[in-house]
Amino acid sequence: MGLLSRKATCNSHGQDSPYFLGWQEYEKNPYDEAKNPKGIIQMGLAENQLSFDLLESWMAKNPDAAGFKRDGQSIFRELALFQDYHGLPAFKKALVDFMAEIRGNKVTFDPNHMVLTAGATAANETLMFCLAEEGDALLLPTPYYPGFDRDLKWRPGVEIVPIQCTSFNRFQITASALEEAYQQAQKKNLRVKGVLVTNPSNPLGTTMTRGELDLLINFITAKEIHLISDEIYSGTVFSSPAFVSIMEVLKDRNLENTEVWDRVHIVYSLSKDLGLPGFRVGAIYSNDPIVVAAATKMSSFGLVSSQTQYLLSAMLSDKKFTKEYISKNHKRLQKRQSKLVSGLEKAGISCLESNAGLFCWVDMRHLLSSNTFEAEMELWKRIVYDVKLNISPGFSCHCTEPGWFRVCFANMSEDTQKLAMQRLKSFVDSMTINSQSHQELKNARRKSRTKWVFRLSFQSFHDREQDER
Amino acid sequence: MERTRKKGQLLSRMATNDRHGENSPYFDGWKAYDENPFHPSQNPDGVIQMGLAENQLCFDLIKKWILENPDASICTAEGVDKLKNIAIYQDYHGLKEFREAVAKFMERVGGNRVTFDPNRIVMGGGATGANETVMFCLADPGDAFLVPAPYYPAFARDLRWRTGLEIVPVDCKSSNNFRITRAALEEAYEKAQSSNINVKGVILANPSNPLGTVLDRETMRSLVSFVNEKGIHLVCDEIYAATVFSSPRFISIAEIIQDMDCNRDLIHIVYSLSKDMGFPGFRVGIVYSFNDVVVNCARKMSSFGLVSSQTQYLLASMLSDEEFVGNFLRESSKRLARRHSVFTKGIEQVGISCLKSNAGLFFWMNMRPLLKEQTAQGELELWRAIISEVKLNVSPGSSFQCSEPGWFRVCFANMDDETVEVALERIRAFVLQGKEEDAPDQKSQRWHKKSLRLSFSSSRLYDESPMSPRMLSPHSPLVRART
């Protein structure tokens, strides 16, 4: 009998991946404009650091919220004691209103259907515990957030079966890909309990089309399974097309209060939209009261600090503030993204056209020595060690095509971003100088399509220290 | 019906079974309180909440500190410079200053007889999350942990629900003041093993909930040698460590293993600020393990229940204020001692005894003389009477898996002095009334005979946490603000 549990000694947490090399290297040698200008620039961290000034100025104008006060009176005691897993009513109300505002008020949410959790990390894991048994499977479109391997598989024991998406059609989900994934699961004797999508997508930075959402609804209806829509980037949509929530589509198709309505669940968080990952604010929104009841009880294992609930209930109830924040934040994200895109273009690198997220999905296939993941790993190491940029390789996101990388743009200053692009350009230029072999390979490149999930020992690129997305 | 049946298959067994423990009949008391909460002026006949183990006695000290230290908040003018760095800090190691402050606090609470390594401090979503995480690290579904009874009711949920583990109770008896004996441990262990139940360890709370007692050195050494012999784990939930208000002093398991030959890989501590500081809302749970693999695993799992960085920052500042901490711990002990004494002496006057205790936020009251029958049913009847007639929500011993009927846990630190008086009066009146032997009318026998049909609600918490904002002090502005 082992001393510890199987969970403690396996590596389903996914953090033994060799890809944390990038993080390690960054930590050993982090870029600093003044103190370490030759250090590694962190571009693997999907954080929104562009709008803290707006938060800071709100704090300055609202000292009560910060100081455990209401109307000048201290409510420290009440907050310190408040551990009701139903959450602070004022906070939930403010949060659902904020979510509605982000969706252009085309849908509204009922606070009684919302469950607060310690970050989206806890929300996703909790949904697994509620919707699936150990050994069941969930279908996820690739590429996907590496942390899902931990959140869905580790303690709940759920298997992930990929829905293969490719650059042929901008990585959109197709009916045949859905069906193929389902069949693959059946072949492996896995019972499929649902589909989990991230919309807007991490790592693609794109919003799902109405067509894709319709497809998903049709699919889960036919298979009688769940749909989880992780919408934590919904507030980062900075250009058209506008964000379309799964709830909106259900509503438009008059599917409210039907069977499928109960099987759609949304995950939300303030880590990306408000740039507050440290505060651990996540939420599950479900139309099924049984799921809400079970998830609420489970949230005991990871409630949101009442101190934080109170602060944010005040902040998000300030509609003037939320309107200004959403608008300014979008503008800044758009500006920064377009600077990244043009910087990459100057280096002869293109990316997937995107309208959301805190990153771009960058196409470096032409820089690979061969159309393989070994070559991608090679290129990635060079970028980390030589170019000194920590970016995320597509393999870690389970992408089926080698050569794609996720590059973040919202977690650094404009100057740092400029420098990063300069370094990249120099690197590519130097590669072009050795262009002969490069050209040959480019001509010889085959569009091979990798079929099944990779069974290599590393599964996820995941920072051993940070829950980055 | 068809849709309901289908639904049952659609969700997990975990989502639809009862292992969360909240459908127990014992939350009747909560319901009664919820529907009719006591208020000294607005509802003086309401139910007084004595089933909630909260420490509300020292908020004045904390409030003062908060006002004097505006830079501890990242949202005030004095502290807002730190906002950005703290708001983006989601590293599951936790803020260094937070871990250091917590380690120091734990040392202080342990009488400065041990040192705690900040690098072993791992966060959990309250002690609730911490206990669950430890179980996930130590055992597989179907395995079991020995738990000395009576024990905290929500262990049923925290240790078993999502982990798939089982609890094997270790019976403790009033004849020796509910001490944990080696014999009882061995018996429980043997019985489990022979039924093919794989015991992975022992978990207990020290100081004890619901007993309010601390473990003596001998018992602790016996526990350590027991687990070493069997090669199983020992998890000590020390969340009430600083609620010790009189001797004997609290001894942390960390202190015991200092002088013992012991496999440290088997020893783990769970801590929290919910009871000692009175901060259950801040969700500060701590896993402290002497086993490196467990530290690493628990730390990764803490992703599912990290402490808000805003809260980490505030508490790092507060708990490193040594003068404040010293003063707080002294005052808290004093006030707990006083409150404990007021209650225990008060009920002694009417011939009710309690287990001699020196810690916790409650006392373990012996109502056996008032039972019509010395059975679980008898206890249930008495308890219903206490709720509906005496209008006190106290917790019956059976909800703690106590094998002897007639014991009740009574919390004393979650109300003001005025309410204490009212509660005492009610207990006194009830007991004296029950003692009247020649009752011409049915009144004094009423609680024996009345069949009380309190309805069961399936939406209540089964542990210390309040279900609704009304569970807070009736003076709470949050109550009024309810939307």
pLDDT band at A460 (very low <50, low <70, confident <90, very high): very low
For residue A462, the model assigns a pLDDT of 39
Does A118 sit within 8 Å of B306, measured CB to CB? yes
Using CA atoms, how far apart are residues A341 and A352, in angstroms rounded to an integer?
10
For residue B22, the model assigns a pLDDT of 80
Up-side HSE of residue A271: CA atoms within 13 Å toward CB? 33
Phi and psi at B458, nearest 5°, equal -105, 20
Which residue among A153, A272, A388, A425 is the active-site one?
A: A272
pLDDT tens figures, A106-121: 999 999 999 999 999 9
DSSP secondary-structure letter at B257? Answer: G
pLDDT tens figures, B331-390: 999 999 999 999 999 999 999 999 999 999 999 999 999 999 999 999 999 999 999 889
How many angstroms away from the CA of B115 is the closest CA of chain A? 25
Q: How far lies A306's CA from each of A65, A77, A280, B279, in Å?
A: 12, 11, 11, 10
For residue B437, the model assigns a pLDDT of 43
For residue A435, the model assigns a pLDDT of 63
For residue A442, the model assigns a pLDDT of 54
Q: Is the peptide bond before B210 cis (omega within 30 degrees of 0)?
A: yes
For residue B105, the model assigns a pLDDT of 97
DSSP secondary-structure letter at A69? Answer: E
For residue A438, the model assigns a pLDDT of 52
pLDDT tens figures, A190-216: 999 999 999 999 999 999 999 999 999
pLDDT band at A278 (very low <50, low <70, confident <90, very high): very high
Q: Is the peptide bond before A37 cis (omega within 30 degrees of 0)?
A: no
Using CA atoms, how far apart are residues A238 and A339, in angstroms rounded to an integer?
14
The DSSP element (H or E) to which B125 belongs, if any, is strand B121-125
- Across the range A418-431, mean pLDDT stands at 94
Nearest to B34 by CA among B422, B387, B397: B387
Does A74 sit within 8 Å of B66, measured CB to CB? yes
The residues facing A363 across adjacent strands are A350, A404
Closest-approach residue (CA) in chain B for A79: B281
Nearest to A47 among B16, B20, B88 (CB): B88
Contact partners, residue B254, CB within 8 Å, separation at least 6: B110, B114, B116, B267, B269, B288
Burial class (CB in 10 A: 0-12, 13-18, 19+), A2: exposed
Q: Which two tokens stand for residue A114?
A: 């919302």
- Does A461 score more than 60 pLDDT? no
pLDDT band at A444 (very low <50, low <70, confident <90, very high): low
Nearest to A4 among B282, B293, B311 (CB): B293
A and B: number of Cβ contacts within 8 A: 281
Q: For chain B, which residues score pLDDT lower than 50?
A: 1-3, 5, 437-483
- The model carries a pTM of 0.89
Q: How far lies A288's CA from each of A216, A291, B89, in Å?
A: 18, 5, 33
Which residue matches tokens 């200008």?
A37
Question: Is residue A120 within 8 Å of residue A280, measured between CB atoms?
Answer: no
pLDDT tens figures, A124-146: 999 999 999 999 999 999 999 99
Closest-approach residue (CA) in chain B for A78: B476
Which residue among A160, A232, A284, A391 is the active-site one?
A: A232
Question: Is residue B247 within 8 Å of residue B361, measured between CB atoms?
Answer: no
- Does A467 score more than 70 pLDDT? no
Question: Is residue B391 within 8 Å of residue B48, measured between CB atoms?
Answer: yes
Which residue matches tokens 């139309």?
A287
How many angstroms away from the CA of A52 is the closest CA of chain B? 6
Using CA atoms, how far apart are residues B237 and B145, in angstroms rounded to an integer?
14
Closest-approach residue (CA) in chain A for B65: A76
Residue at B428: amino acid letter: R
What ipTM did this prediction achieve? 0.88
- Across the range A354-378, mean pLDDT stands at 97
Percent of chain A surpassing pLDDT 70: 90
In the residue annotation, A288 being an active-site residue is answered as no
DSSP secondary-structure letter at B75? Answer: S
In the residue annotation, A325 being an active-site residue is answered as no
Chain B positions in Cβ-Cβ contact with residue A8 (cut-off 8 Å): 136-138, 293-294, 297
Q: Does B282 touch chain A (CB under 8 A)?
A: yes
How many helices (H) and strands (E) chain B has is answered by 18, 13
Closest-approach residue (CA) in chain B for A57: B80
pLDDT tens figures, A409-420: 999 999 999 999
Mean pLDDT of all residues in chain A? 90
